[in-house]
Amino acid sequence: MTEGRREGHVTDTATRRQHVADAAIATLAREGMRGLTHRAVDQTAGLPQGSCSYYFRTRQALLQATVERLVEVDTADLAEHPAISGRSSEPGEVAAAAAEVVRYWTTHAGDRMRARYELMLEAGRRPELRAALDKARDHYHGLAEHVLTTVGATDPVAQAPVFIACLDGLVFRHLTGADPLPEPAGRLDGALLNLLRGFTGRRH
């Protein structure tokens, strides 16, 4: 086999694994944890029966791949917003970017968020899944610490989990119908700006 063919095979395999992981996310969002089976993922992905188990032989392997794919896509969302990727020292810009991400995650990416919450709940019962989510948590905390350091937060390490919990809580409560996001949109921006100002100790 030529080098080009080997590289093509690797790329095709990686793409197929991503496709299966995306199908697992969609299945989780639609059916919940109990509905996540290899067969159901095959059906969602539009692949022949046995395809999911070929790439992820065990349920644990499938769950871990799903967590990793969620982190990958969520991080790509954040990368599209320079301010919330740690490239702005202006709290106002970071607040506006964070609010935009929250609005996106509660609309276009709502199913992805529902899948993530299903995994978080399941992790409380499965220590092996908890390990994968702990790795994801450390990744998000690192991103948040970088953003807060850039805007001048007084204690980024301690404040990062609070910042994440705020954004996560907004998404969760909106998707469950407990609390719609503030309207008009500028109210959410302003609330997040006040939070960031509190972290920095600056009033303006």
What does the pLDDT read at residue 3? 43
Q: Are 1-57 and 61-200 equal in CATH topology? A: no
Was domain 1-57 assigned CATH 3.30.420? no
What does the pLDDT read at residue 202? 73
What does the pLDDT read at residue 11? 60
Was domain 61-200 assigned CATH 1.10.357.10? yes
Q: Which residues of the chain have pLDDT under 50?
A: 1-7, 9-10
Cβ neighbour number for residue 12 with a 10 Å cutoff:
10
Q: Are 111 and 29 in contact (CB under 8 A)?
A: yes
**CA–CA separation, 181 vs 126, rounded Å?**
32
- Could you tell me the residue ranges of all domains in the chain? 1-57, 61-200
**CA–CA separation, 115 vs 195, rounded Å?**
28
Q: Are 120 and 63 in contact (CB under 8 A)?
A: no
Read off the amino acid at residue 14: A
Whole-prediction pTM: 0.86
What does the pLDDT read at residue 10? 42
Dmax over CA atoms of the chain, in Å, equals 64
* Ranges of H-type helices in 85-184: 91-105, 110-123, 127-151, 156-175
